[in-house]
Chain A
């Protein structure tokens, strides 16, 4: 090698190194002086959070700030983990009354094959609105029918649907047949026995489906081992129920009345399913059964009337508190796209009616993370977790609180949204 060639190589090497360093800077952010509410553990007054490579490198009172770190002065602000919406239609519904913009409800009754992630509109106008209110992740669920499809767990940031994925297939959504058939108003609940008889038949149908899926699985396994044996004929429904009966995919069962909740607990036990319940408006009546079953609960929107008047005007509001006291793991949900931003206010409403305030906060952060099996990476401000951080000027569950900055994966997100764009546009009129 000549001296000249060596020099060229050195320069090339240096340049390459410089280029790669430019492409992937080890960006370090230090959020300094905030009141840190880690959710897990005690609050820290005037603490510091170090973000490195999208993760929380350190959290504490006396944390040294590495040289070269971008320092965010957060004195007077509070730092919270990003909130997680336990059940939403974000990205599947733009204008709920215009079917061209609605993708959360497939036709037919049994649709295990449909996946929310595959229809997710990453640039939905509702996502930045929710995000700029401190919500950094959400379950997006299909609805309707008996088996609605597969929900997805997303972070509220990304340039494509796939970039937003936390868990592409989070759960199989099942609308448990009951006194009240499916979601959408409490109209049917508690009225007449005809629906109940129908429910029994529908539960039997579900069981039959699961039985067939298990048999389908066996036949597939048998065929795989025996070259002489034919594979079972492809059956779409059974094919997509397989992960559920194998215990690989959680089922989220939408269930509402006390009797149905009991029946659903039995169903989960009989079928040995990994289950989460959703809705559970009359859970307070069977809180002990729920506790014993160990099935966690995504509380439905509190913006609804009591299922039956006898439950009391405040039954939906106090339900989360009763369940929490009984030891049931709960998380809140918006059940919405256009007002998914209201997630914290559902939690606050439950707090006004008996739920401990700290528990209310957990039920929009660490509890949903645990329920969705992502608590190792999110749901609290702890070393090693993804840096999903919200800086606010007050209690994150309070209506008047302003959210100042939202970090997802350590990246500061764009706080602009449809509201602000339109406001700014028309402010120009003067």
Chain B
């Protein structure tokens, strides 16, 4: 018996010694000699990052390369956390369920389209994670989803399950259908058509959801009791109310599209009235008018850098919005809301240094750790720290410079975008296209 154990132990030790390295080639990478902008732990001028099996194992100087690992030379380049876009609509097969005002059952997580080329454009700008959202056609839209930009992988593998569950709300011109043309014989205007109605319809749904939730609680309590009443019937299942009662129970947080100070404050009022959590407000061009209220309520904002004046409610959007609010203690992220702008998200964040006086690191935070916190994934991404996932972007110049360019984008230790490789492919393709065609028809 004893002998068997000793034998087993010995063979285990031998096995361990001769075993291949304890990492898979996939998901493991060593990036050497870059200027590392960790975002949360300062800057390392000439440092290495070791990612093993998708997770950052070590950050330091002269990390020895484990045998067989992929090594990237980042000399003269900037190594930063993969960028996070807190508000997009990319990689979806549908965005708006605008037929009705209240559609919390319409979950965009069920229509993820992993073939959307916007994933590639995102990668080409160093973006590794996005919050892709239901559109803004309804006061209560539907649940959103957080995705990693794993181009080439099936939809299910893009979804980040660790993220907070979020529900899209929308206020203002879009939901009151300000730009809609009423046509003769066309459908009648949809309720609500005013900001009053918008708030009222959300309150109505919350009151309804509260009753629904209480009815289920009553049922479950009775059912679990020692002597459940005879003929105990469950309440009617309602998919809309399911989502909203999860919101009231704190299992889902709200993300709300709004522009004006009044509607933002009133939505925060509704959240207080019904006890749900507003994780962040979207666009919120007038956030600078209510920065103190936002900071006090710990409500973040996810805003544009300067895309404004495209509609009436965006007429007082100032480029200082992000920087000013950040300095007031509001958790701010810069979003793209676009499959094109996403590839220059870093340029947009950089504008907050000029307008708002943020430092380079504060500006970079707007598209890394801050959106990570807003999405509830700050423990796994958003900065370069040991133990976090190996989501990394490499830029040729400082990412907050207008002259910079993304060179490589890595997700969980795997390269998803490599400009050098891309250029090589293009050169070869060009050569092929220019080469004289041999032969011809026999």
Contacts and interface: CB of A to CB of B under 8 A. Distances in A.
B321 to A, nearest CB: 9
Interface in A410-430: 418-419, 422-423, 426, 429
A337 B306 CA distance: 12
Contacts of B360: 400
A288 interface: no
A352 B292 contact: no
17 contacts: A97-B311, A126-B309, A313-B120, A313-B422, A339-B306, A342-B306, A345-B402, A397-B402, A397-B403, A398-B401, A399-B401, A399-B402, A400-B350, A401-B354, A402-B354, A423-B320, A426-B289
Contacts of B267: none
Contact of B347 (A304, A345, A429): A345
Contact of A305 (B340, B397, B400): B340
Contacts of A419: 318-320, 355
Given A126-B309, A312-B426, A313-B121, A426 B288 contact: yes
A339 B348 CA distance: 12
B351 interface: yes
Interface in B391-423: 396-397, 400-405, 422
Given A96-B310, A312-B426, A352 B179 contact: no
Interface in B42-75: none
B327 to A, nearest CB: 11
A400 B340 contact: no
Interface string B345-360: 0010011011100001
B264 to A, nearest CB: 14
Given A400-B354, A422-B288, 8 more contacts: A95-B312, A96-B310, A98-B312, A126-B309, A305-B340, A338-B308, A352-B404, A400-B360
Contacts of A157: none
A215 interface: no
A13 to B, nearest CB: 54
B94 interface: no
B136 to A, nearest CB: 14
Q: Looking at chain A, what size class is its interface with the partner chain?
A: 35 or more
Residue among B289, B309, B311, B354 having the largest count of chain A Cβ atoms under 10 Å:
B309
A397 B397 CA distance: 15
Interface string A107-149: 0000000000000000001100000000000000000000000
Given A303-B341, A314-B124, A352-B405, A422 B318 contact: yes
Interface string A335-351: 00111011011001101
A126 B355 CA distance: 16
Interface string A353-373: 100010000000000000000
A382 interface: no
A175 interface: no
Contacts of A402: 354
Contacts of B354: 399-402
A85 interface: no
Given A95-B310, A399-B347, A423-B320, A349 B292 contact: no
Contacts of B310: 95-97, 338
Contacts of B397: 352
Interface string B84-122: 000000000000000000000000000000000100110
Interface string A79-110: 00000000000000011111000000000000
Contact of A339 (B121, B307, B324, B403): B307
B192 interface: no
A309 interface: yes
Contacts of B120: 313
Given A96-B310, A313-B343, A353-B405, A399 B353 contact: yes
A313 B292 contact: no
B376 interface: no
B344 interface: yes
B323 to A, nearest CB: 10
Nearest to A341: B306
A397 to B, nearest CB: 6
A304 B124 contact: no
Interface residues of B, number: 44
Interface string B306-344: 111111101110111000100000000000000111011
Interface in B272-324: 288-289, 292, 306-312, 314-316, 318-320, 324
Contact of B344 (A94, A97, A349, A357): A349
Nearest to B320: A423
Interface string A310-337: 0011100000000000000000000001
Nearest to A422: B318
A345 B355 CA distance: 15
B228 to A, nearest CB: 57
A137 B400 CA distance: 27
A126 B426 CA distance: 40
Interface in B411-439: 422, 426
Contact of A304 (B307, B340, B405): B340
Contacts of B289: 426, 429
B318 A313 contact: no
Contacts of B422: 312-313
Residue among A337, A352, A422 having the largest count of chain B Cβ atoms under 10 Å:
A352
Contacts of A303: 340-341, 344
Residue among A96, A399, A401, A426 having the largest count of chain B Cβ atoms under 10 Å:
A399
A301 to B, nearest CB: 11
A31 to B, nearest CB: 22
Contact of A338 (B309, B316, B341): B309
Which 9 residue pairs are nearest across A and B when measured between Cβ atoms? A348-B402, A97-B311, A338-B309, A399-B350, A419-B318, A400-B353, A352-B405, A399-B402, A313-B124
Nearest to A337: B309
Contacts of A98: 311-312
Contacts of A351: 403
A97 B180 CA distance: 12
A418 B401 contact: no
B432 to A, nearest CB: 13
A256 B113 CA distance: 30
A309 B117 contact: yes
A168 to B, nearest CB: 26
